[in-house]
């Protein structure tokens, strides 16, 4: 079958003929109708995550899929051939930039019925990230104040909607041209990052979802109320993440060092910092699908590319200038 593979770290994606996926006892084989494109795809292609998430080239890239079930493993009970599904395959099982992909059934959910396959493919990774940051880690409640950076991006557009559904006051950073659009999604306050300093404009927040890192993360800590929390999805990784990944002591020490400065700053301010590297979850995708079909959430697709344009789709992430997600249509 056709797939886009990383033959060598840092080299462009290559279209190749690869073996059909093997289907394990609890796997679901999916014919790919569409695949979302994420920043993690580019990070992995560049080799940025080799220390804690190594892949041996050549490997197929891609973390989001929507499509049709072709067949299932003998122990699968919840899916059957012909089902329309969506998924974020677990780490080390990625490979959605292909004609077909085998995904563990625990990572799969029936796709929302009210949207297209392209829209469904835009959701899994970013929706799970937002859900795990706001619901699982942040435990956001009505009346709390939440700051979501890069509100017009893939994670941001979904996180704003979830936070608003949870009853939070939602502030976000974005360009002025996206202000009306983000208000439609539920944002209460938009900070134009080009002309305003969010640190000077915001204070007393309970949670910050940071997707930019660096100085932006450090400034975010200072917008939090005492006891507040900043959740970073770009980094730096923290010791809890290193333990969760089961990394060797040397790598764990190195990762702890990367976040030492920001953790020290957080402690001094009486707030907390956590790194979130989202987990695959079919169960959470079922909850998200219900929210989509009930009109609570809507996907935002900014650009689509044909299957043979996968390298250009990946390159579009760096250029930006669009709202929401980039999606590749099926082969």
Q: What was the pLDDT predicted at 320?
A: 83
Q: Is 183 within a domain? A: yes
Q: What was the pLDDT predicted at 319?
A: 86
pLDDT in tens, 78-128: 999 999 999 999 999 999 999 999 999 999 999 999 999 999 999 999 999
Strands 27-37 and 301-305: unpaired
Number of other residues whose CB lies within 10 A of the CB of residue 79: 22
Q: Is 287 within a domain? A: no
Q: What was the pLDDT predicted at 201?
A: 97
| 270-295 average pLDDT score | 97
Q: What was the pLDDT predicted at 277?
A: 94
Q: What was the pLDDT predicted at 267?
A: 97
Same domain, yes or no, for 269 and 133? yes
- The mean of the pLDDT values for the chain is 96
Q: What was the pLDDT predicted at 22?
A: 96
Closest CA relative to residue 219, chosen from 269, 160, 151, 154? 269
Same domain, yes or no, for 109 and 245? no
Exposure string of 208-244, with b = 16+ CB inside 10 Å and e = fewer, is bbbbbbeebbbbbbbbbbeebbbbbbbbbbbbebbee
Q: Is 212 within a domain? A: yes
Same domain, yes or no, for 110 and 183? no
Host domain of residue 304: 2-123+299-329
Q: Is 285 within a domain? A: no
Q: Is 175 within a domain? A: yes
Which domain CATH number covers 102? 3.90.180.10
Q: Is 281 within a domain? A: no
pTM (predicted TM-score): 0.96
Percent of the chain with pLDDT over 90: 88
Q: Is 268 within a domain? A: yes
Same domain, yes or no, for 139 and 255? yes
CB of 151 closer than 8 Å to CB of 182: yes
Kindly tell me if the per-residue pLDDT of 28 is higher than 80.
Answer: yes
pLDDT in tens, 243-252: 888 878 888 8
| 320-329 average pLDDT score | 93
Q: How confident is the model at residue 260 (pLDDT cuts 50, 70, 90)?
A: very high
pLDDT in tens, 164-215: 999 999 999 999 999 999 999 999 999 999 999 999 999 999 999 999 999 9
Which domain CATH number covers 143? 3.40.50.720
More confident residue, 249 or 273: 273
Same domain, yes or no, for 140 and 271? yes
Q: What was the pLDDT predicted at 151?
A: 97
Same domain, yes or no, for 176 and 190? yes
Same domain, yes or no, for 133 and 203? yes
Q: What was the pLDDT predicted at 52?
A: 84
Same domain, yes or no, for 221 and 116? no
Percent of the chain with pLDDT over 70: 100
C-alpha to C-alpha distance for 35 and 143, rounded to whole angstroms: 36
Same domain, yes or no, for 24 and 102? yes
Same domain, yes or no, for 110 and 131? no
Total of domains in the chain: 2
pLDDT in tens, 128-157: 999 999 999 999 999 999 999 999 999 999
Q: What was the pLDDT predicted at 248?
A: 80
Strands 2-6 and 14-17: antiparallel
Q: Is 292 within a domain? A: no
Same domain, yes or no, for 136 and 110? no
Q: What was the pLDDT predicted at 330?
A: 83
Which three-class secondary structure state does DSSP give residue 212? coil
Same domain, yes or no, for 21 and 115? yes
Q: What was the pLDDT predicted at 321?
A: 84
């Amino acid at each position: 079958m056709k797939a886009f593979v990383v033959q060598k770290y840092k080299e462009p994606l290559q279209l190749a003929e690869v073996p059909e996926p093997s289907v394990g006892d609890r796997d679901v084989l999916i014919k790919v109708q569409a695949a979302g494109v994420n920043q993690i795809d580019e990070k992995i292609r560049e080799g940025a995550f080799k220390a804690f998430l190594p892949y041996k080239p050549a490997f197929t890239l891609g973390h989001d899929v929507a499509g049709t079930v072709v067949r299932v493993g003998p122990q699968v009970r919840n899916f059957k051939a012909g089902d329309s599904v969506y998924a974020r395959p677990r780490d080390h099982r990625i490979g959605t930039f292909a004609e077909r992909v085998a995904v563990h059934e625990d990572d799969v959910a029936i796709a929302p019925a009210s949207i297209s396959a392209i829209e469904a493919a835009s959701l899994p990774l970013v929706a799970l990230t937002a859900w795990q940051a706001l619901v699982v880690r942040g435990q956001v409640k009505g009346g709390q104040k939440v700051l979501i950076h890069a509100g017009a991006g893939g994670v941001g557009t979904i996180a704003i909607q979830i936070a608003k559904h949870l009853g939070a006051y939602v502030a976000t950073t974005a360009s002025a041209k996206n202000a009306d659009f983000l208000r439609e999604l539920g944002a209460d306050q938009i900070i134009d990052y080009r002309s305003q300093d969010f640190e000077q404009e915001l204070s007393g927040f309970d949670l910050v979802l940071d997707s930019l890192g660096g100085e932006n993360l450090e400034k975010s800590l200072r917008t939090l109320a005492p006891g507040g929390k900043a959740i970073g999805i770009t980094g730096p990784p923290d010791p809890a993440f290193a333990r969760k990944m089961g990394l060797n002591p040397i790598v764990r020490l190195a990762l702890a060092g990367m976040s030492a400065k920001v953790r020290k700053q957080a402690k001094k301010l009486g707030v907390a910092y956590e790194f979130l590297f989202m987990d695959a979850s079919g169960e959470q995708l079922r909850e998200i699908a219900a929210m989509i079909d009930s009109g609570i959430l809507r996907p935002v697709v900014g650009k689509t590319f044909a299957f043979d344009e996968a390298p250009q789709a990946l390159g579009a992430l760096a250029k930006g200038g669009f709202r929401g997600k980039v999606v590749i249509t099926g082969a």
